[in-house]
Amino acid sequence: MKIRNTKAAVFFLAALMSSLCLVTGAMGQAAPLTVAKGRTVQVNYTLTVDGKVIDSSKGRQPLEVKIGAHQVIPGFEKGLMGMKVGEKKSFTVKPEDGYGEVNPKAILEVPKSKLPKNIKLTPGMVLESQVNGHIVPVSVVKVKKETVVLDFNSPLAGKTLNFDVEVVDIK
């Protein structure tokens, strides 16, 4: 390639160097990746609700999530955005960005005949049900003579979730 205009050549080289600095950072090193939509991240986490540990990756493999793929609740993704590998952070997720508010329409009274016969039903017991092809936990609220009151809300519906996270890897 032959460049005849030296002013154009200088401008071209300045623009090229500027874009390289944006990609590699000021010292010529690659800028650290941050959690962003489309990236796959691995995180260690602990979830607490009302001061009680509900779930944790402690003693297990880190949770791997593709950001933007709706694999986790929206508030969890939002809390991770912009973090870098090795960074630790605590954040709170309100019900509207977590498992939603408790929906009274998701509490249903069903005949006992619709449930397995070999189970002794007790209030507080959690069963599994298949809804739209997904396995969901269902809580037994009340056992009556002929019917059972079941709560199809997530056990975390209406709850404020507290996360302690550490980003382990970003791809």
pLDDT digits (tens, 9 = 90+) for 109-133: 999 999 988 889 999 999 988 878 8
What does the pLDDT read at residue 15? 44
Q: What distance in Å separates the CA atoms of residue 60 and residue 151, rounded to the nearest whole number? A: 30
- What string of DSSP letters covers 48-87? EETTEEEEE-TTSPPEEEETTSSSS-HHHHHHHTT-BTT-
Determine contact, residues 121/148, Cβ cutoff 8 Å.
yes
Q: Is residue 13 scored above 50 in pLDDT? A: no
- The contacts of residue 161 (CB under 8 Å, 6+ apart) are 47, 48, 49, 54, 73, 75, 92, 93, 98, 99
Q: What distance in Å separates the CA atoms of residue 81 and residue 37, rounded to the nearest whole number? A: 8
Question: Using 50, 70 and 90 to split pLDDT, how confident is the model at 27?
Answer: low
Q: Is residue 5 scored above 70 in pLDDT? A: no
Q: Is residue 29 scored above 80 in pLDDT? A: no
Mean pLDDT of the chain: 87
Q: Indicate the domain borders of the chain.
A: 1-31, 104-151
Q: Is residue 2 scored above 70 in pLDDT? A: no
As a whole number, mean pLDDT of residues 65-78 equals 97
What does the pLDDT read at residue 116? 85
Q: What distance in Å separates the CA atoms of residue 96 and residue 158, rounded to the nearest whole number? A: 8
Question: Using 50, 70 and 90 to split pLDDT, how confident is the model at 23?
Answer: very low
Question: Using 50, 70 and 90 to split pLDDT, how confident is the model at 16?
Answer: very low
pTM for this one? 0.73
Q: What distance in Å separates the CA atoms of residue 115 and residue 148, rounded to the nearest whole number? A: 9
Q: What distance in Å separates the CA atoms of residue 56 and residue 62, rounded to the nearest whole number? A: 9
As a whole number, mean pLDDT of residues 14-43 equals 68
Determine contact, residues 115/152, Cβ cutoff 8 Å.
no
What is the residue type of 1? M
| Fold entry, domain 104-151 | Thrombin, subunit H (2.40.10)
